[in-house]
Structure 1
Amino acid sequence: MVETRQQELGRQGEDLACTYLEGQGLVVLSRNWTCRDGELDVVAVEGDRLVVCEVKTRSGPVWGRPDEAVDQRKLSRLRRTALRWLAKHGVGWCPVRVDLISVTWPPGGSPHLQHLRGA
């Protein structure tokens, strides 16, 4: 399967996000985990807290800021999907935080990453 430019950009943004999170001391447990409720881009752990990260990558402002793509409906879906992840992996109750990582990566330029904790 040939990856489109958008898919490649999204994958690169997720790679950058994982590297960043690991540099912040988090341990990445899953990437692109899917179930009937949706997909979790990155699932990590920070201490005893599960951290679900939605990663949005854009090449520029044409489609708006990356964080503008995450609304309350999307956050609810992420929380519901996180509960399914916990059940699937046999994890009992633990605190869950939903984060947003926005990556702006212009063609030929350097990426800019912003991490919003507790979106």
Structure 2
Amino acid sequence: MNARSALGKYGETLAARRLAEAGMTVLERNWRCGRTGEIDIVARHGDVLVVCEVKTRRGGDFEHPMAAVTPEKAQRLRVLAACWTQAHGGAPPGGVRIDLVGVLLPRRGAPVVEHVRGVA
């Protein structure tokens, strides 16, 4: 595993923990849909399915993790959410929500984990 994938995996672990602390149940991590792409985390929050994109950045000169979801990325997440629901028997009664968890790893101190609901 290279440093970049290790960083991403660490960020996803922190994100999954944050979602669980918020009362969500993590159903899957790194779910792939052919060539369409991958959902970082699929979770359930009550009767809502949550498709969660995780962006992890080291502190410094890089863009903030929350700036990484472009309109094109948001559209791809909607397509992936549709793929997941189709493969798993349809959308739940509460529908589907797309969230973003940004993980910022400063040079010193604890990671900063931000969770934004309904980004796309």
TM-score (norm 1): 0.91
Partner of 2:104: 104
CA distance in 2, matches of 1:23, 1:113: 12
The within-5 A match list for 1:13-32 is 13-32=11-30
Deviation at 1:61, TM superposition (A): 3.5
Aligned to 1:116: 116
Paired positions, count = 117
**Unaligned 5+ runs, structure 2:** none
CA pair 40-102 structure 1, distance change in 2 beyond 3 A: same
Post-superposition shift, 1:22?
0.7
Unaligned runs of 5+ in 1: none
Q: Residue 100 of structure 1: CA displacement?
A: 0.6
Q: Percent identity?
A: 46
Counterpart of 1:5 (choices 3, 6, 24) is: 3
Q: Name the CA distance, whole Å, in 2 between partners of 1:56 and 1:116.
A: 12
Q: How far apart in 2 are the matches of 1:28 and 1:103? A: 17
Structure 1 runs, 4 residues or longer, greater than 6 Å off: none
